[in-house]
Structure 1
Amino acid sequence: MAEITAPGSGEAAVRATEENAYYHEAALNAAWTGSRLAIGALSFLFGAFAFAYFYLFSSNGHGMWLPSSTRIPSNHYGEAITGLIVVSAVIQTVGLQRIKGGKKGDWFVTAAVALVFGLAAVALQLVELLNLPFQPGQSGFASVFVGFYPVALVTWLGAMIWLEILVARSRNIPAISFVEQPPTYAQAYEVQRFQSGLSAFTVVWNYLAIVTFIFWLLFYVR
């Protein structure tokens, strides 16, 4: 691999190379750590809705958790939205393994499909929220439902924006760079950072898929 060096003395070039390697390693660690911190923060966020759900369900003050006047939303929406997100996460995980095996083209296709499925879930969730069979504060169930799903929708949309950014970044990386060692450190670093970011996204997206499935069980299956 040809090393890109800074102009000047050999000592300055070596120092610049070492600094680049240090910041590159820091970037890789930041992607790993950031994704885990994001999962921790989201766990607190979604945990608040889980606590509200079980607290209101168990207390059922004045029978207002789920009175007969509150109709549960159609399970068709819940099944479709949850299915799209879970399938999107599975497809993206498969695509990650393909690009790790050097097949950028395969990953690009799976990423596009995962992106379409994720955006379709966002659109369906928006349609459901605009056509709910109850008012937001009509019951305990309605309050938690209307609180959780807009927040979940925003996180799904944020994840899809992240995936779109990764797809755009990948266009500047030659497919051969995922198969053979790039000729320069700069190009090698770019590939490694992209793969690190993709791995971080996949972990977070899989986590969101699990959370979506759990809350589908709570709201629709119970």
Structure 2
Amino acid sequence: MPAGTINSVLARDTDREPTPVAAFEMRETPVTRRDFRRFLSTHPDWLPGRTPAVFASSGYLQHGVDDADVPVTEVSWFAAQAYCESEGGRLPTWHEWEYAAAADATRTDARGDPVWLARILGWYARPASQPLPTVGGEANVYGVRDLHGLVWEWVDDFNALLVNNDSRSSGDPDKLKFCGAGAIDLQDRQNYAVLMRVALLSSVSAADSTGSLGFRCVREVKP
């Protein structure tokens, strides 16, 4: 992924300048069950039943993993980060993920195309109970696949995406600031699909796992 800038949906009225993004390497597809099974074979501390509850909730890998080439889900943020570290990488930041996900097959930023946005939003409207397809969808202009259309994805700074950080505190009486309603202060409010992703990531904790939340890894580009 070459260096560039992104007009992030997270930009506030007082922060309209594009956000710079340094060059980085990104996995072509999300991590699959096959990949994660191989990781568990060499890192047994992350097997279900061995992982401390503080690092993985009760839903962690509750359906197990197999050798299928579908995105691995039911993985906590801690487990996803541990996997990426085993490859010499890390989870992407939100801006890195958003930068890569803004591209289509021919453009580095297709977010102004209502047809493209509608196609992505159609996936988010599908029930999450449907079986996951295999990885390997159409590549975007950078050669990255499946950023849209398969699963939600963990990012490194998922817990910093809220508009108001105080809204995560237990004493905050304004519950509407938590999760989806917090998006009303964001820019580019027409990009509903990405705002939905912000809402989901803002509503989970690092130990949580769901059947529709996966991840991919990135690496720094050395000079």
Q: TM-score, normalised by structure 1?
A: 0.23
Q: Considering fraction of residues, name the structure with more strand.
A: 2
Q: TM-score, normalised by structure 2?
A: 0.23
Q: Considering fraction of residues, name the structure with more helix.
A: 1
